[in-house]
């Protein structure tokens, strides 16, 4: 069974949502970030970058256990392991998914994360940081909104691991006071409703809250 090291955060939710969509059995190990468990030697042996999520698959591609960190790499790994259509095997559709997955990993995650940091967690009020990252978050939401006006899902006609990667970050930006709702981006709101209606998405958000 796949072992998932996680916490109820956007990067963690990506992996639990995908595992639920794939109906793969998995065991959750909650890593208590507030207690700095991500720096424990046992966890560093799995992820030298001391962040969740990480997985250990006892049945890796070479027939021996494999551990993986970086949520984007984990999503690709799990989709390929199961030959899931959530990551098309080839062609334009595959690269559209990879492109939007990279957009999340390099843009949405870091920028929404910094917007949250400067508005909610920073020990001092730094207007430059607040302005820089909330402005960038709005720009990224506008990019998503344009794409989701053209297509039902972020990478085109089909639901994919790119939707799964981006969605938890839209929950996260809604905690930032400058984003009480996402009404300025109606196609993003429509897409969020599609995501929230999926039972696997609901389970993937819930399980890391209550299991260890």
Told to check if 171 binds ligand GSH by CB under 6 A, we report: no
Residue 152: φ, ψ to 5°: -70, -30
Half-sphere exposure of residue 209, counting CA atoms within 13 Å on the CB side? 7
Q: Is 52 in the site for ligand GSH (CB under 6 A)?
A: yes
- What one-character DSSP code corresponds to residue 82? T
On the CB side of 62, CA atoms within 13 Å amount to 4
Tell me which of 2, 10, 21, 207 binds ligand GSH, using CB under 6 A: 10
Tokens of residue 84, six digits: 């899931």
| Adjacent-strand bridge partners of 56 | 3, 67
Q: Which is nearer to ligand GSH, 75 or 187 (CB)?
A: 75
Which of 114/147 has CB closer to ligand GSH?
A: 114
> Contact 205/16 with Cβ under 8 angstroms?
yes
94's tokens: 């595959």
Query: In the range 14-33, which residues lie near ligand GSH by CB under 6 A?
Result: 33
Cα 141 to Cα 13: distance, rounded to the nearest angstrom: 20
Candidates 47-55, 83-91, 95-103, 125-133; binding stretch for ligand GSH (CB under 6 A): 47-55
Q: Which range in 9-17, 123-131, 144-152, 179-187 contacts ligand GSH by CB under 6 A?
A: 9-17
- Using CB under 6 A, which of 16, 38, 160, 170 touches ligand GSH? 38
Q: Which residues bind ligand GSH (CB under 6 A)?
A: 9-11, 33, 38, 50-53, 70-71, 109
């Amino acid at each position: 069974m796949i072992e998932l090291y996680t916490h109820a955060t956007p990067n963690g939710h990506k992996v639990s949502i995908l595992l639920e969509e794939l109906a793969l059995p998995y065991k959750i190990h909650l890593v208590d970030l507030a207690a700095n468990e991500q720096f424990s030697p046992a966890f560093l042996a799995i992820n030298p970058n001391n962040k969740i999520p990480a997985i250990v698959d006892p049945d890796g591609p070479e027939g021996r256990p494999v551990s993986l960190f970086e949520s984007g790499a984990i999503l690709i790994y799990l989709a390929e392991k199961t030959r899931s259509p959530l990551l098309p095997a080839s062609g334009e559709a595959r690269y559209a998914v990879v492109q939007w997955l990279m957009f999340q990993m390099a843009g949405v995650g870091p920028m929404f994360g910094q917007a949250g940091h400067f508005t909610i967690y920073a020990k001092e009020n730094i207007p430059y940081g607040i302005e820089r990252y909330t402005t960038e978050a709005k720009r990224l939401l506008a990019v998503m909104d344009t794409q989701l006006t053209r297509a039902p899902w972020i990478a085109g006609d089909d639901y994919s691991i790119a939707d799964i990667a981006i969605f938890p970050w839209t929950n996260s930006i809604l905690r930032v006071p400058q984003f009480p709702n996402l009404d300025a981006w109606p196609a993003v709101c429509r897409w969020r409703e599609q995501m929230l209606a999926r039972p696997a998405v609901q389970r993937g958000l819930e399980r890391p809250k209550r299991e260890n």
